[in-house]
Chains A and B, each alone.
Chain A
């Protein structure tokens, strides 16, 4: 069910997910398009997430934006509901942080990143080159997750459980919680057209799924739903982003994840399982509804092929 409308306020709005925004030329969303977008969201009962560029918006935009309940995703921490950054931060931050980072940067800065844990209410780590993971990278990622888990475990035992997407999300989930692009969320771009997600706009602006006048027309819409994803619908790596854009980029199909995405998600799942077991040694009732079974695969594709 469609629940969220992401509105890109500018062509240079910050990317908060796996895809980089290649656009560097400013193109502010016209005020009338912004108003129509908000009106559309109100009529469709959608929650709006505004995505900001790195420059201040004209004054008349603020009153329009504030005319509806929303969340602000910003490249600066000031007045943000979610702060997106590509570098480890210093000090304390009082909003959730999205850290976008390549796998090599992640491996090179393991200690710095571990030290961020507990200094923001939530840390979402988004790896921007999942498709490039090699077998060696998987092993390094396994080790990194263990380091992060150790830090989370220490803080949790101190009564200060931090939220770090890579290892804590799965512990708290009892069903899939994925990207939802094309299913629970769509994006309105500055050109007044709708897209499956911002990445689809960055890559192929001609490939829209409707506009404010004609409405939404998502062809083969069912393929964005979990039950139409053969690999994912029985998977229990509930925290997996199941990035629709990466699916299409790496496998050509929006409903089929790549090997790399599956393995990364299962390494996180397994790290969560170990972390949960360790925390429960001291606190047996910790997140009591969560069950994470032991499995002997990292890519459900291999299991499906064997059947």
Chain B
């Protein structure tokens, strides 16, 4: 199935997680809001009954948390129900669907999760998040403690990283999903470990590393220089080490860093509004980032619920968003605009008014640093390939990043 033309439907099955990652944008995680079977069923019924409102050729049923595999019993029941109902209704998504998971990997080996994988293996994608080397991973991805739920944070020496609990499941995951990728998130404190982390993940056998800087305004003075330095080290390591053919890292993409035409390249980056998220209360959102647990300073944007359906007027701003209308002049006139991403939820959260039409530019310097390192990477790689007479072979056969804007 073509995921580029698929409808993404996200079930926020729990707002709980075993971990308390320091960069996590989910500021309202808790162990109380777990989706019930009744709500999940009502959501599926509503979605499948409104086939004409969702004409996309395929569907990705996405399960997130918190940590989705904490609710494997519910997920298993929901997925069975989805399959039966798509068949019973002769829905156009039958046999054109995928169940998708982004997990911290901790419960991956458990019997229930493994049974679920076996049952759904032909329609399944699972990404395990491992952030790189142990020191990089454990810097942010730490175990939650009971005290944290009461707002008491552990001292740095008391923090317990989760690397060892995740990495043990990587071989099994790669055996079952050899083509799947991992997702790495970079915040300010992670920058010194980018190069070693990507190489470490390659060393674990992960061939595709999708890596992004956080959209939040967390960056300190000088971070962009450090970031550029790390990416150039990584560029050298990938090229000199010969990884460029069989491995991919989303930081390096040929078509980023160019000016963009205001007429022909005016699309929105983010897919909020084209996707649909539902939470434990049965509320619908244009994306999970608009649920209350994702927002620091704004009210959630609820576009309906499983009982009353979707208020289409509330979707109109999302579906008419374009680059020009939400971007400040410096972005419109930017010489290296292409590939500079944004998250509609973060834009909303950071905006000066209750609007999704104000683009946050917190990553501006980081994007420019990425562009410089990216230019270096491609100039170096193409020169090497041309000298070796392998440019055409590379163009035809190298592994490309599968990452698409969310």
Contacts and interface: CB of A to CB of B under 8 A. Distances in A.
A175 to B, nearest CB: 20
A211 interface: no
A230 B316 CA distance: 10
Given A230-B322, A230-B325, A259-B312, A251 B355 contact: no
B355 A253 contact: yes
Nearest to B351: A220
Interface string B346-358: 0000011111111
Interface in A258-285: 258-260
Interface in B5-64: none
Contacts of B356: 253
Interface string B304-341: 00000000111011011110010000000000000000
B352 A220 contact: yes
A305 B313 contact: no
A263 to B, nearest CB: 12
A268 B105 CA distance: 58
B371 interface: no
Contacts, number: 54
B301 interface: yes
Interface residues of A, number: 21
A252 B351 CA distance: 14
Contacts of B312: 259
Contacts of A250: 313
A239 interface: no
Contacts of A259: 312-313, 316
Contact of B357 (A220, A257, A258, A304): A220
Interface in A138-184: none
Given A253-B355, A253-B356, A305 B319 contact: yes
Contacts of B357: 220, 223, 228, 253, 255
A40 interface: no
Contacts of B325: 223, 228-230, 255
A127 interface: no
A219 B353 contact: yes
Contacts of A251: 313-314, 316-317
Given A228-B325, A230-B321, A256 B353 contact: no
A231 B357 CA distance: 13
B146 to A, nearest CB: 38
Nearest to A301: B316
Question: Chain B's interface: helix, strand, loop or mixed, by majority?
Answer: loop
Contacts of A219: 352-353
Contacts of B355: 220, 223, 253-254
Contacts of A301: 316, 319-320
B333 to A, nearest CB: 15
Interface in B349-387: 351-358
Given A219-B353, A230-B320, A304-B320, A258 B358 contact: no
Contacts of A304: 319-320
A283 B301 CA distance: 53
A254 B325 CA distance: 13
Nearest to B329: A222
Nearest to B312: A259
Contacts of A257: 316
A219 B352 CA distance: 7
Contacts of B320: 230-231, 256, 301, 304
A188 to B, nearest CB: 21
Given A223-B357, A304-B320, A252 B352 contact: no
A256 B353 CA distance: 15
Nearest to A218: B353
Interface string A105-123: 0000000000000000000
Nearest to A223: B357
Q: Which of B314, B316, B319, B322 has the most A CB atoms < 10 Å from its CB?
A: B316
Interface string A209-223: 000000000011001
Nearest to A260: B313
B317 A256 contact: yes
A220 B313 contact: no
B310 to A, nearest CB: 13
Contacts of A231: 316, 320
B128 to A, nearest CB: 36
A1 to B, nearest CB: 18
Contacts of B353: 219-220, 223
A107 B283 CA distance: 36
Contacts of B322: 230
Nearest to B303: A252
A252 B301 CA distance: 9
Contacts of B317: 251-253, 255-256
Nearest to A231: B320
Nearest to A305: B319
Given A230-B321, A230-B322, A252-B301, A220 B316 contact: no
Give the residue among A220, A231, A256, A259 with the most B Cβ atoms within 10 A: A256
A258 B313 contact: yes
A252 B321 contact: no
7 contacts: A220-B355, A228-B325, A252-B317, A252-B354, A255-B317, A255-B357, A256-B316
Interface of B: 301, 312-314, 316-317, 319-322, 325, 351-358
Closest 6 pairs (CB-CB, A-B): A253-B317, A256-B317, A230-B320, A219-B352, A258-B313, A219-B353
Given A252-B314, A257-B316, A301-B319, 13 more contacts: A219-B353, A220-B351, A220-B357, A228-B357, A230-B320, A230-B325, A251-B317, A253-B355, A253-B357, A258-B313, A259-B313, A304-B319, A305-B319
